[in-house]
Structure 1
């Protein structure tokens, strides 16, 4: 499979050679993340959810701490949700609803699957908060049963190495054509590693010993442009930050009146000001929708959802 309706690999590119060279490069030397050393679907799911908004180097410590606290899917399923959400906040792991969904997914695995994770991407998407990318990652790395991964790094690699157009359908096709059958575990790890250490925004082709330099269009032309990469909004001063502060305050102090809570999460809180009750109610509404807090509007009090 070397061509689609809209695009094809260069005629002088041998897919078999490209596959062999990348796998050999990866197996010879790669970053030693602990979730790459296991096929435990639970541990891999935790790493994938944590990695959605956090650099891998920072995820490692949080991942170890999380598994120390809840070492099995059964342990997480029976945990207090407030503790799980609190862990997420304390470790600055992004949106707290991801902790909630991870907790609910663990409960699903225990109650609906007798503690054994489903093994296909489609089945894994039935778990709460598990989208196509995460489902495919768990299927690939836990069960060697995934499809070709297509993330920002992989798109950049395909765009530069093979002059693929910036078109999601072409990227999907090209990634699938490249992946050796039945090798999703090693292949998806390898191509993401290539994008993460060699074909970054500022490429390190020679420094990282990129195995595709001989066939790479960008390396030949010295044109290392790539599709736009979306930037993560700043955390400082964001709604995410203040939602996290609300959860932390309620964990520490228990049920609080609106104004007391407001002053604990923002120094410039003023009940009738720009950052006052209306602003606070908006944050509480988001958290309530995610099942994280319980709001008593009549009494103007709020507590964590238990």
Structure 2
């Protein structure tokens, strides 16, 4: 990826709409996505820190059944809360202590009402900027764009955003539609969690950003948390991307019509000729990106539909 500044897509409204529609059409179901209760969302966020979500689901259900709200948690014996945390393998026990203290603060300092903005939520014990913004977003729709590891990976790949925290935050805030932090943050986190994973599933998960994605076009799926791939210039990945981009402009092309548009030194019988190009489009066909048809004495290629 280059270190150039973020260049927003030509139609950001279409980008936003595509992601939200993809998320609302089908997404993973978690109990904390079915509520706007700030207490339950805070519990889920604290539990999810460095803990696999499938393990969090059961622990979350048990926790809110035992301590369903801040009055119940604030009145609990802290040792019982810590013991629960340890028994469910939820990581550092100090998170349980902070959660207990935060419930006590809500009851004692905020008259039983959760603060609603990211800044105000950070007054709660153990609630840092990320968790505060998540609770503000998902409980009150009052958050900024969430930027976690998954979101960084998505933005880095899709829009060539430099690996820089300030750049990620600026880009995320620019893309998020105003006043829609709840659905937007859920959607972009889902995209990074199921489609744009370390090993991406662009087509299998029907990623809604394939039309705009730099990584999808070039085949370079490196990211801040994914090892950098081999040099891109002159690589097979670069020419794969060129094939996809060229075919996007035509209904179909024969190999000898496609070749010169992919590389200037294309020569049908040369080193980078028909056999080289046939191998390239065959790989793309295996990935489901193009369709290849042998027709008479020629091979015709088009984008898959």
TM-score w.r.t. length of structure 2: 0.72
Q: Is residue 141 of structure 2 the alignment partner of residue 131 of structure 1?
A: no
Q: Which runs of 4+ in 1 moved over 2 A?
A: none
Separation of aligned partners in 1, 2:50 and 2:199: 21
CA RMSD, Structure 1 to Structure 2 (Å): 1.2
1:107-122 equivalence runs, <5 A: 107-122=104-119
Q: Is residue 179 of structure 2 the alignment partner of residue 182 of structure 1?
A: yes
**C-alpha offsets along residues 240-271 of structure 1, whole Å, 9 cap, x if unaligned?**
xxxxxxxxxxxxxxxxxxxxxxxxxxxxxxxx
Separation of aligned partners in 2, 1:69 and 1:9: 49
Cα pair 1:13 1:215 within 8 Å, conserved: no
Separation of aligned partners in 1, 2:62 and 2:156: 37
Instruction: Say which of 6, 9, 19 aligns to 1:8.
Output: 6
Match of 2:151 in 1: 154
Aligned-pair distance for 1:56? 1.0
Q: Number of matched residues?
A: 224
Instruction: Say which of 17, 21, 26 aligns to 1:24.
Output: 21
Separation of aligned partners in 1, 2:71 and 2:221: 47
Aligned-pair distance for 1:13? 3.0
Unaligned runs of 5+ in 2: 228-305
Q: Which has the higher contact order (CA 8 A, sep 6+)?
A: 1
TM-score w.r.t. length of structure 1: 0.72
Instruction: Say which of 36, 50, 54 aligns to 1:53.
Output: 50
When Rg is computed on C-alpha atoms for both structures, the one with the higher figure is 2
**C-alpha offsets along residues 160-182 of structure 1, whole Å, 9 cap, x if unaligned?**
00111111111110000000000
Aligned-pair distance for 1:53? 1.9
Match of 1:65 in 2: 62
Aligned-pair distance for 1:228? 2.8
